[in-house]
Amino acid sequence: MVNYKKILVTGGLGQIGSELSLELQKRYGIENVVITDIKNEIPEVLGQNSIYLKLDVLDYEKLTEIIKKYEIDAIFHLAAIFSGRGEEDPFNCWNVNMNGNINIFKAAIEYKVKRVFIPSSMAVWGIGIPKENVSQDSVLRPTSMYGVTKVAGERLCEYMFHKYNLDCRGLRYPGIISSEALPGGGTTDYAVEIFYEAIKHKKYTSYIDKGTKLPMMYMPDCIKATIMLMETDVEKLTCHGDYNIAAFSFTPEEIADEIKKLIPDFEIDYKPDFRQKIAESWPASIDDSVARRDWGWSPDYDITTMTKDMIEKLSKKLK
């Protein structure tokens, strides 16, 4: 049962944040969703009546001012530095991701926020995992600083739950594909870029190599999973901060073949960069049976329905 009324979203202008904020506005009322980000400009998609405030999550004073002023009782903490950008400056990635998390935990405990969502990622995995159907309890030995911060974030969620009774939840998102905001510097960004380039130039050079299969999910399913988890009674949860979720997996050539069904002269070639090594350390598929059992998770989109919807939406947008 939902028992919160005023929602704070951090990183709310990002790829997931902008679409999640829109859905939260629809469900809980535009006046009950406080969207924040370090950026200045609010995108058109969110509408001019949205409550938008500039907030660096490292600024504890401003964060707590907002929580107090708006009487926030649920937080979706999406501000983070991704795997690709994280490897360019690992210490900054640690600083933003970890000190951001700690500020959110501290403020949530101090101001008695009822429920907190902190996303994790498939980047928690690395050395020593089976490639296929990596399970809920697989070993967590990430190879990127981003992955290290995500493992620490998950474990902190669990710690805060047991130590302070803070109801903190999270999902291990796979790569998210969407047609609104662009992704912010990750390893799976290619799976969004490929659609823009297919429509604009009918050609894409992939920085992820042929044969590299990665788990992916379409944005409507990502939003659905996030809201479902946040609306589930705490008694039903057996994980705090780290539910596996999955939809479908593909290699660059498999997604290119799907795109070719709708844009027949589309061509792909390959020029792997530093992100290839990160991708190779991630699983090819994920076992999400615990999320299915605990809160009834299942995705609506597969690779074919996602591709059709992406091409329809992006073709209209890019015109």
User: 240 or 275, CB closer to ligand AKB?
Assistant: 275
Distances (CA, A) of 64 to 140, 213, 230: 32, 42, 22
121 or 143: CB nearest ligand AKB:
121
Query: If binding is defined by CB under 6 A, does position 307 make contact with ligand AKB?
Result: no
- Kindly tell me which of 79 and 160 has the beta carbon lying closer to ligand NAD: 79
> Catalytic annotation on 146?
yes
* Residue range at the interface with ligand AKB (CB under 6 A); choices 103-111, 119-127, 156-164, 254-262: 119-127
Tokens of 84: 């690709």
Q: Which residues bind ligand NAD (CB under 6 A)?
A: 10-11, 13-17, 37-39, 55-58, 78-80, 82, 96, 119, 121, 173, 175-176, 183-184, 186, 188
User: Which residue, 175 or 299, has its beta carbon nearer to ligand NAD?
Assistant: 175
Which entry of 146, 190, 207, 218 is annotated as an active-site residue?
Answer: 146
Q: Which amino acid makes up residue 173? A: Y
Sign of CA dihedral 118, 214, 196, 220: negative
Taking the least distance from each CB to ligand NAD, the nearer of 39 and 201 is 39
Burial of 193 (0-12, 13-18, 19+ CB in 10 A): middle
Reduced to 3 states (helix: H, G, I; strand: E, B; else coil), residue 237 is coil
Q: Are 175 and 188 in contact (CB under 8 A)?
A: yes
In this chain, which stretch among 22-30, 94-102, 121-129, 291-299 interacts with ligand AKB, using CB under 6 A?
121-129
The two tokens of residue 155 are 């474990």
Instruction: Give the whole-angstrom CA distance, residue 319 versus residue 312.
Output: 11
Looking at residues 71 to 100 of the shown chain, list those that interact with ligand AKB (rule: CB under 6 A): 82-83
- Kindly write out the interface string for residues 167-196 of this chain, putting x where it contacts ligand AKB by CB under 6 A and - elsewhere: --------x----------xxx--------
CA 258/CA 247 separation, integer angstroms: 16
CB atoms < 10 A from the CB of 90, how many? Answer: 15
Contacts with 256 (C-beta within 8 Å, 6 or more apart), sequence order: 194, 204, 266, 268
Closest chain position to ligand AKB (CB)? 186
Choose among ligand AKB, ligand NAD, none what residue 204 binds, the Cβ cut-off being 5 to 8 Å by kind.
Answer: none
> What are the residues binding ligand AKB (CB under 6 A)?
82-83, 121-123, 146, 175, 186-188
